[in-house]
Structure 1
Amino acid sequence: MSALTVRDLHKTFGPIEVLKGIGLEIGKGEFIVLVGPSGCGKSTLLNIIAGLERQSSGSIEIGGRLVDDVAPKDRDIAMVFQSYALYPSMTVRQNITFGMECRHVPKAKQDEAVANVARLLQIEPLLGRKPSQLSGGQRQRVAIGRALVRDPLLFLFDEPLSNLDAKLRVEMRMEIKRLHQRIGATIVYVTHDQIEAMTMATRIAVMHQGSVQQFADPDTVYRYPANLFVARFMGSPPMNTMPARLEAENGAPVVVIGAGRPDEVRLRLQGYDAAAPFIGRDVVLGIRPECIAEGSRAFSADPPILVNAPVEMVEPTGAETIVLLRLGGEAAMARIAPDVRPTPGASATFALDTRRVCLFDPETERLIA
């Protein structure tokens, strides 16, 4: 039985269609992340699942039960908000137990639930404090604790880390992932941060303009983006995409960047049989920054593919160096070793890993191979 089923969901606000036929099937124990830019509809979808918004058409099932006409409090869900939504006049313990008191849970069970959650989230010393006496990370732990004591079928997280600083976001991201591994809960998590999506999810639903562009595990989304939007959105820096032409050379496909230019780049591909119908046609080439390295580094290609390219900008980050260069006149980002610093304005030699390039149809923008 699926923990959550979303069937052909539509939502309109006046003349504006915010959700366009969303369909998702989520299994028990999965950690699903809805990711996309602001305004793509991900929070609206979460609110409809929670019952805070009513869909225009389509249906929602939670645990095999149709909940379209079920009130939020009866859907067996728990929600963690971006703003924490804690009662300022109550202690941490009172915030956690408030929902249980409303449901008339016996005091002994309340105490047991609070003890278990406080130990799990390491907030035992905070139970007597008010929210104003807590840090942002502590408040978020309390909000998660309040959701955990319900032991629902489904947890919904609405951008819970966006109010935290960068260091605390990383720490809380690890805490939530560790928590999921411990309790095996089903989680639907909304974020605009694709790093959160890649590191936390068992599957990612990439959304854009009210539609799910791709729904797959993180490795598939990263390695085989379904279309140009996914390729350009997922990854930091994102996948380089550039116009090219596909030709044949000795029976193998060759992708040409900047065809006819003095600095054209020709990349011989192997194992791209699906691209055969596009021989002699324009394509969009996609290559990840980590697939472009300093010339001294050899990828597993025989012989290694080396190109000489002008360098426009160098950005040291400590752990790596990001380089903006030109391939056949097209801009591309490379991720190279931290101790390598090419000179801006000069040319340098780079190695390319053509085993991991993607080809897209320029008309449909969908992945070819």
Structure 2
Amino acid sequence: MAALSIRGLSKRFARLEVLKNIDIDIESGEFTVLVGPSGCGKSTLLNIVAGLERASAGTVEIGGRMVNDIEPKDRDIAMVFQSYALYPSMSVRQNITFGMECRHVPKPQQDAAVAHVARLLQIEPLLERRPSQLSGGQRQRVAMGRALVRDPLLFLFDEPLSNLDAKLRVEMRMEIKRLHQRIGATIVYVTHDQIEAMTMATRIAVMYQGEVQQFADPDTIYRYPANLFVARFMGSPPMNTMPARLVAEDGAPQVVIGAGRPDEVRLRLRGYDAAAAFLGREVVLGIRPECIAESGRVFGDTSEAPIVVHAPVEMIEPTGAETVVLLRLGGEPVLARISPDIRPKPGALTAFALDTRRICLFDPKTERLIA
């Protein structure tokens, strides 16, 4: 039985349809991330699951029970908000136990629950402090502790790290992932940050304009994006996409970038049988920046030599761990990720190795993945 099952869910605000026929099943113990740009409907979907908004159509089931008409307090969920939502006049201990007191949980049970989550979240020294005496990360731990003491069927996180600085966000991301591994809870987590989604999720629902574009594990989302939106949204830097033409030469498919230009690039493809119907037609080629590297790079465990192309460099961005290069491939702007100790000069014609095993091809009309 799925911990959360959403069927045919739609939401309208007057004439504006913000969610369109959403179908999702989340299994018990999964860490599912809803990711997408601002305004895509992910927070509205979470609010409907929580009972803070009503769906215009469709059903929501939690633990096999339909909850459309059930009050939020009776849905067996716990929610962690972006703003922490702590009571400023109460101590950390009182913030954590407040919900239990409202449910008339016996005092010994409250004390045991507080001791357990305080140890789990490493906030034992903070229990008598007020929220104003805590850092952002500590407040977020307290908000998580308040949710954990409920031991619900479902945890809902609504962009809980967006108020934190970059360093603290990385630390808290690891804390939440470690917590999930320890307690095996079912979590639905909303974020607009695709790095959070990739590093934390067991499965990701990529949303855009009120629809789920793809629902899969992070590796599938990254390597085989369902359409151009997913390809361009997931990844930092995102996938390079460019117009190209698929042709056959000596019985093998080739993709041509900048056809007819003096600097056109031809790439031989292997294992792209699904693209046979597009021979002689325009396609959109997608290739990740890490699949374009300095000449001499060996990609993975393969005896096949990578294709080497010469391309003009427009700009470089040293990041410490790597150098990101903006170059032109068949006249199209492309980002590459090369070793940090290599700094090609802007304007120079430079050799780059391409891993064509990881190329994606998209239909330019439907924008869906071909192969």
Q: Taking structure 2 as the reference length, what is the TM-score of the superposition?
A: 0.99
- Paired with 1:152 and 1:19, the residues of 2 have a C-alpha distance of 26
Deviations 1:172-208 (A, max 9, x none): 0000000000000000000000000000000000000
1:357 corresponds in structure 2 to 359
Q: Distance in 1 between matches of 2:327 and 2:187?
A: 41
How far apart, in 2, do the equivalents of 1:139 and 1:301 lie? 52
Q: CA deviation at 1:303?
A: 3.7
| Structure 1 counterpart of 2:112 | 112
Paired letter, 2:52: L
User: What residue number does 2:311 align with?
Assistant: 309
Per the alignment, residue 369 of structure 2 pairs with 367
Aligned to 2:16: 16
> Residue 285 of structure 1 aligns to a residue in which SS?
strand
Deviating beyond 2 angstroms after TM superposition, the runs of 4 or more aligned structure 1 residues are 298-304
Contact 1:157 1:190 in 2 (8 A): yes
Give the partner amino acid of 1:107: K
Contact (CA 8 Å) 1:301, 1:353: kept in 2 or not? no
CA distance, structure 2, for counterparts of residue 111 and residue 329 of structure 1: 67
Task: Tell me what 2:38 maps to.
Answer: 38
CA contact (8 A) 2:361 2:370 kept: yes
1:255·1:269 contact (CA, 8 Å) conserved in 2? yes
Structure 2: state its 5+ residue gaps. none
For 2:213 and 2:70, the matched residues in 1 are separated by 29
What is the identity, as a one-letter code, of the residue corresponding to 1:360? F
Q: Which amino acid aligns with 1:253?
A: P
Matched ranges for 1:131-280 at <5 A: 131-280=131-280
Distance 2:304 2:238 in 1: 27
Q: Which amino acid aligns with 2:225?
A: P
Kindly report the root-mean-square deviation, in angstroms, between the aligned alpha carbons of the 2 structures. 0.6
The count of residues paired between Structure 1 and Structure 2 equals: 369
- AA at the equivalent of 2:331: G
Question: Is contact 2:157-2:189 (8 Å) kept?
Answer: yes
Shift of 1:114: 0.1
User: What is the identity, as a one-letter code, of the residue corresponding to 2:239?
Assistant: M
Describe the superposition over 1:231-281 as per-residue Cα deviations: whole angstroms up to 9, x where unpaired: 000000000000000001121110000001010000000000000000000
Paired residue type of 2:5: T
Structure 2 distance, partners of 1:304, 1:10, is 47
Q: Aligned runs of 1:10-89 on 2, under 5 Å?
A: 10-89=10-89
Judge conservation of contact 1:194–1:234 (CA < 8 Å) in 2: yes
- Secondary structure of the structure 1 residue equivalent to 2:83: coil
Unpaired stretches in structure 1, ≥5 consecutive residues: none
Q: Tell me the percent identity.
A: 82
Q: TM-score, normalised by structure 1?
A: 0.99
Give distance in 2, aligned partners of 1:333 and 1:316: 13
- The CA deviation string for residues 304-336 of structure 1, in whole angstroms up to 9 with x for no partner, is 300000000000000000000000000000000
In the TM superposition, what is the alpha-carbon distance from 1:346 to its structure 2 partner?
Answer: 1.3
Q: Does residue 323 of structure 2 align to residue 321 of structure 1?
A: yes
